Amino acid sequence: MAEKPKLGIWHTTTLESARQGQQTYSTTAVAGQKRAYDASTSQITTRNGTAPALRRLNGKSLPGELPRLTAGRIKYVDGSTTREPSEYSQRQAFAATPTPVIDPLLSLSHPAYDLPPQLVANFAASGIKTIYPWQKQCLLGPGLLQGEKNLVYSAPTGGGKSLVADILMLKRVFEDRQANAILVLPYVALVQEKVRWLRNIVSGISREDEGQKEQTDKLWARRADKDTIRVVGFFGGSKIRATWADFDIAVCTIEKANSLVNAAIEDCSISKLRAVVLDECHMIDDGYRGYLLELMTTKLLCLGQPVQIIGMSATLTNIGLLKDWLQGHSYETHYRPVPIEEHLVYDGRIYAAGTAASLLKTITQLDSIATQHSQSRVQPVRIIEPSADKELKDSIRNAVVALANETVRAGYGVLVFSSSRAGCESDAVLISRVLPTFAEADPIIQEKRLDLLGDLRSLPTGLDPKLEQTIPSGVAFHRAGLTTEERELVAKAYDQGVLKVCVATCSLAAGINLPARRVILHNARMGRDFVGPAMLRQMRGRAGRKGKDEVGETYLCCRQSDLEAVVDLMHADLPELSSCLISDKRRIQRALLEIIAIRLATSRESLDDYVSKTLLSYSAEPESIQEQVEASIADLQKMEFITIDRYGSFQATLLGKAIVASSLDPEDGIFIHNELKKALQGFVMDGEMHVLYNFTPVQDPGVINWKVFWNEIQKLDDSGVRVMHFLGLKHVVVDNMLHGGTLKEATPEEKETARRYHRFYLALQLRDLCNEMPIHRVAQKYDMPRGSVQTLAQTCQGFAATMIKFCETMGWGAMAAALDHLSDRLKAGARFDLLALAKITFVKSRTARIFWDNGFKTVAAVANADPKELLPVLMQAQPNKVKLGAKDEQKFKEKLLAKARIIADSANRLWQIEMQQELDEE
């Protein structure tokens, strides 16, 4: 048996165990032991040279394995296999970070922070027993703990920046029983993750009634008259209008936070708001959606009430501008608890990327023909030898696979970023073909990977065939083409160590929290374009797991044609933040319309006061701002969104209020108003296509597969055909596009017509979803990734809520009711007869139909059933029938039985609500 590498003693820039195993690698055979593994002998083939379709291992079903590959060896230039201890390993041996014993203020239980003991205990249970010196210094900034000053701060990814905001926000909530707080995040996945985190942190803590604190009691002592802390996530669409009474801490996407603040200002409940946290606040200059952060924050600055605003980011440059804008305190740190060693991989050589000077020398030497045959002054750290396999002939692909292979065989996790969805799958498959096989994995890990495959297989969408290939080797991909449930299962398995390699698209770098010992960038592109400096830092910042790694490593691979651009990117300064309100006239129009509609500005004086408090006023010339404001006011009047009386008072029209209530941009609002106004004159009510058409978003409609479009409109019933004619859509245009035509968009009228074709194409997909066609079947039919179909459904659910709100504000009650009915069907993915069943947890679409067909046609029927009675029904609902061994069959049934109990409990709760409503009506 090969001796287990002693990585805990010391560490250098590479993985010692892999260096020691240049000829043979070590992989786990049984717990606590390792055995020699020769990659050259690992190819698994049948007699005819092909991989078996299905294998059985100890009674377990195992997907077929592709022929094995051998990645290029990674070796040192001088051939040595050992190195002196690095500064990082010495830092581990001789701790330089102060402890609470040395500095008591590094303990959250210190009286200076005045936190409830249960909160401190909850932080400790989550792994946060002390804070870093920079966090202490930041929290003790002037007036911050008391909520008297706003704060903007910058800290590297993985440096613990979220904890500072969490502490300040929770203090505001605990100090006042009536207080509310809002935490703003850019992505839905981050919102969901943060909700789970905060609910754990506030578990078991209650707030005291205001004015009932006794001198003899601690502020945070338990009393019977306290409330628990309610943490609620807001994202997507909802027909229910949230009020401040529904939550204590709202975790929101940018759009939902802005909508929530608008509604609260309008109904005067905003007075309860005490803290707002802006995570990833560098997005404030993102013109597509980040500008809403500026609109919302400026409204809060105009309120004149004590709301503590806390902004944070890992990629802030001109932090002084935000400090001036927020009139608060600023703090910057470059501290990372786990340092990162960065490398550039080029032409099979690994270079240290520590300084700009060494990289520039490297470029000069690599690009100079004259020096190619001479010894370079800047030597590579290591060399990646070519692979003998044709699949790995490309030096970049070979480097990515070899680096991932080395990391996993040393026992660490690796995160690979690819530039496209197809690249994700390709990298994952290739990496899985060089790693230890399923049979060589630890038996416990084998079991967990089989469980993961089973969980993925039991999803309504079934098991992705590529994941079925890669997961047995501990590899998976995480991209937008997967469904939400698939991504959650993959992320959880990676975080638990069941998976060792996760391949993700660059676009998901900021939306996932999956740290790794080593981060490998296949290239520095997102699609065809290079990523920006901020995105690059986001990806590289995922390296290093606190508590698991003493160092993180990043490897950026690039080709000769990209070398100079990549090095410039690696050392590029982050762009300075600035307002983007006047970079597109729709943004300043929306800003002015919102404050007029919610009555925050009713005169030119109050409107100018709002403008003076925007970030725009700190980053643009007053003359240009004034011109844009004047032009926007005139445009809003012309579009009939606002009126100005003879005394100069501003007032929003009914249409203007509907647009703000629906969170639409002004120009989109005009289009929607015209569409709905026309529909009121001839709404096609004998089918569902017209309603579903109005659920489709007006922005980013996607690409039309004109062949599918043509086939679908040929099968439309009379109602669907009338909808097409009503919208002005023509079969001849679709036929022309099918044969290579172009959809003209030169004039505003042509753009509106093109938008209608796109929306009708999306409505066809919604029709199939509403009629119980599974997501994976819709994806196949329209040649789309399953995750994209699911995202479309979720987006349209949100847009449906927007349309309902628009109609209600305009006073179009009948239209709102028609939209409301179909929105329930869209959410359930089912026909009308299943809507009640679809409210039960885990019972959606296909499962609801199987319950119905088996006689469980009401919530009461499910509620009164024994969970064991539901088990055969759930067995029928599984999308894939796989033959399992007796042991696995029993385990599978136990999981389904646990699911059946949850379904029965959920049905019971719903049934009790129904019964109570019936009693109330009598």
Highest mean pLDDT among 94-103, 339-348, 440-449, 655-664 belongs to 655-664
How do residues 472-507 score in pLDDT, each as one tens digit? 999 999 887 888 888 889 988 998 889 999 998 876
Q: What is 104-131+133-325's CATH topology?
A: Rossmann fold (3.40.50)
Model confidence at 378, pLDDT cuts 50, 70, 90, reads low
pLDDT, position 511: 60
Across 113-129, average pLDDT: 92
d(CA 579, CA 533): 19
The CATH 1.10.3380.20 portion of the chain extends over 666-829
Does the domain made of 666-829 have the CATH classification 1.10.3380.20?
yes
Tell me what the pLDDT averaged over the chain comes to: 81
Model confidence at 142, pLDDT cuts 50, 70, 90, reads very high
Model confidence at 375, pLDDT cuts 50, 70, 90, reads very low
Strand-pairing partners, residue 552, are 340
**Beta strand ranges found along 260-339 (DSSP E):** 273-278, 308-313, 329-332
Identify the weakest region by mean pLDDT among 369-383, 487-501, 623-637, 845-859.
Answer: 369-383
Which one is predicted more confidently, 515 or 865? 865
pLDDT surpasses 60 at 403: yes
How do residues 434-476 score in pLDDT, each as one tens digit? 998 888 888 899 889 988 988 888 887 878 888 999 999 999 9
pLDDT, position 112: 93
Which one is predicted more confidently, 641 or 899? 641
How do residues 69-100 score in pLDDT, each as one tens digit? 888 888 887 655 444 434 433 333 334 456 66
Across 840-851, average pLDDT: 86
Q: Residue 834 — φ and ψ, nearest 5°?
A: -105, 5
The residue written with tokens 């995480």 in the block is 478
Strand-pairing partners, residue 503, are 416, 477
The answer for residues whose C-beta is within 8 angstroms of residue 718's C-beta and 6 or more apart is: none
The CATH 3.40.50.300 portion of the chain extends over 104-131+133-325, 340-570
pLDDT, position 880: 60
pTM of the model: 0.82
Q: DSSP code of 167? A: H
pLDDT, position 886: 59
CA atoms within 13 A on the CB side of 802: 27
pLDDT, position 885: 56
Across 18-44, average pLDDT: 33
pLDDT, position 793: 87
d(CA 844, CA 851): 10
Model confidence at 730, pLDDT cuts 50, 70, 90, reads very high
pLDDT, position 482: 85
How do residues 631-647 score in pLDDT, each as one tens digit? 999 999 999 999 999 88
Identify the weakest region by mean pLDDT among 223-232, 300-309, 317-326, 661-670.
Answer: 223-232
Asked if 273 contacts 296 with a C-beta cutoff of 8 angstroms, the reply is no
pLDDT, position 25: 34
pLDDT surpasses 90 at 807: yes
Across 404-430, average pLDDT: 90
Report the candidate in 383, 475, 477 with the shortest Cα–Cα distance to residue 424: 477
The CATH 1.10.10.10 portion of the chain extends over 585-656
Model confidence at 530, pLDDT cuts 50, 70, 90, reads confident
d(CA 765, CA 705): 12
Asked if 748 contacts 822 with a C-beta cutoff of 8 angstroms, the reply is no
Asked if 131 contacts 106 with a C-beta cutoff of 8 angstroms, the reply is yes
d(CA 655, CA 645): 17
d(CA 139, CA 851): 55
CATH architecture of the domain with residue range 585-656:
Orthogonal Bundle (1.10)
648-658 b/e with 16+ CB inside 10 Å = b? eebebbebbbb
CATH code given to domain 340-570:
3.40.50.300
DSSP string, 91-123: HHHS--S--TTT-GGGSTTSTTT---HHHHHHH
pLDDT, position 132: 92
pLDDT surpasses 60 at 122: yes
pLDDT, position 430: 94
pLDDT, position 356: 41
Model confidence at 327, pLDDT cuts 50, 70, 90, reads very high
